[in-house]
Amino acid sequence: MDMTHEPAAAVLQLGYAEAAVLAVQRQMEADPRVVVLGEDVGRGGIFGQYKGLQQRFGAERVIDTPISEAAIMGAGVGMALAGLRPVVEMRVVDFALCGMDELVNQAAKNRFMFGGQGRVPLVARMPGGIWDASAAQHSQSLEAWFAHLPGVVVVCPSTPQDNYSLLRAALQCGDPVVYIEHKTLWGARGPVDESLPVALGKAARRRRGEALTLVSWGRQMQVCEAACDALAAEGIEVDLIDLRTLWPWDREAVLESCGRTGRLLVVHEAVQAAGFGAEIAASAAEATGCRVARRGAPRIPVGYAPVLEAQSRVGVEQIVGAARALHG
């Protein structure tokens, strides 16, 4: 399991979106097969995650498309089968539902159905999670849907470093990757070391402790880190693991930690019912016999009004309370 990287003097300080732009730029420079297609990518994308790329590489490699997610995803699948490595931009995960047939029935299954004769090395970027004051149709966390889908890799980066390194790894992967950046992390800044590789399927330990294991991913990691600070003040030192890749997930790292601490708390922004946390909790309980608990959102649509939106968030107090109960 990768440990949190200690930045060196030459490391860049970049935003989450800037790190993504740099990752795509570097991969386009290294591999002429990499192309980008989607709505508004020419002007940089709605979050600035493609800023300047069309000016650098031209409209034939950074391709503006009509407003049709099915057409965008279908074209990306065809490009991948023809030998290209497309970055397919879905704007947000909620809109990707219009292109699900092409992803689920074509991209994910082609390699299996045709005995490996065809490969679909595309990266489908579909920002997920609660988007502040954007209501139910723009605030969904659907990563468990894709983790349930055989044939795809699922990635959820939480830091600028991981958004750089994991996006580059995704662009080099030979299989379709569902790449879920969080809608509210784009401005988050942090160190980015271009020389630091991060392998798909490897978690990162963000804090070391013996009291209990806490597993999360995406933006929820920030909330978990704040909860860990509060728990440390009470003498409860947490082993905090950022999963980073949901499929394949780092079973070895999680089970090692659970075997050592004897307690596991999984926290995610997604709805708790049938969330991916249940897979982690069940696997850990079966393998190590550890005590388990989960915290996720209630099974309700995300509200527009702040007081309603807050009901769908898993806050520091909930995590601290769950950790205390598990530890006690």
Question: Per-residue DSSP letters for 49-86?
Answer: TTTTHHHHH-TTTEEE--S-HHHHHHHHHHHHHTT-EE
Dihedral of alpha carbons 303, 277, 127, 176, sign:
negative
Predicted local confidence at residue 328, as pLDDT: 83
Domain count across the chain: 2
Q: Is the pLDDT of residue 200 over 90?
A: yes
Q: Within a domain: residue 157?
A: yes
By percentage, how much of the chain surpasses pLDDT 90?
A: 97
One domain for residues 109 and 252: no
Q: Is there a single domain that holds both residue 259 and residue 148?
A: no
Higher pLDDT, 3 or 303: 303
Looking at the structure, do residues 168 and 274 belong to the same domain, yes or no? Answer: no
Active site residues: 138
Question: Are residues 233 and 89 part of one domain?
Answer: no
When the pLDDT of each residue in the chain is averaged and rounded to a whole number, the result is 96
Per residue in 271-312, pLDDT (tens digit) is: 999 999 999 999 999 999 999 999 999 999 999 999 999 999
Asked if residue 146 has pLDDT above 60, the reply is: yes
User: What pLDDT sits at residue 9?
Assistant: 46
Are residues 218 and 274 located together in one domain of the fold?
A: yes
Q: What is the dihedral of CA 308, 313, 319, 322, to 10 degrees?
A: 60
When pLDDT is cut at 50, 70 and 90, the band that residue 6 belongs to is very low
Strands of the chain, DSSP E = 2-3, 12-15, 34-38, 62-64, 85-89, 123-125, 153-155, 177-179, 189-192, 204-207, 212-216, 238-242, 245-247, 263-271, 291-297
Spatial neighbors of 130 by CB under 8 A, at least 6 apart, are 139, 141, 183, 184, 269, 302, 309, 312, 313
Instruction: Label residue 267 by pLDDT band (50, 70, 90).
Output: very high
Once rounded to an integer, what is the mean pLDDT over residues 222-251?
Answer: 98
Q: How far is CA 34 from the centre of its chain?
A: 21
Q: Which pLDDT score is estimated for 1?
A: 54
What percent of the chain is predicted at pLDDT more than 70?
97
- Is pLDDT at 243 greater than 70 in this prediction? yes
231 and 296 housed in the same domain: yes
Based on the domain organization, do 171 and 243 belong to the same domain? no
Residues 6 or more apart whose Cβ sits within 8 Å of residue 328: none
Q: Which of 137, 162, 192 is the last residue of a domain?
A: 192
245 plus 317 within the same structural domain: yes
pLDDT attached to residue 7: 45
CATH number, domain of 296, equals 3.40.50.920
Domain boundary among the residues 129, 162, 192 is at 192
248-258: average pLDDT = 98
Inside any domain, residue 7: no
Domain of 115?
A: 12-192
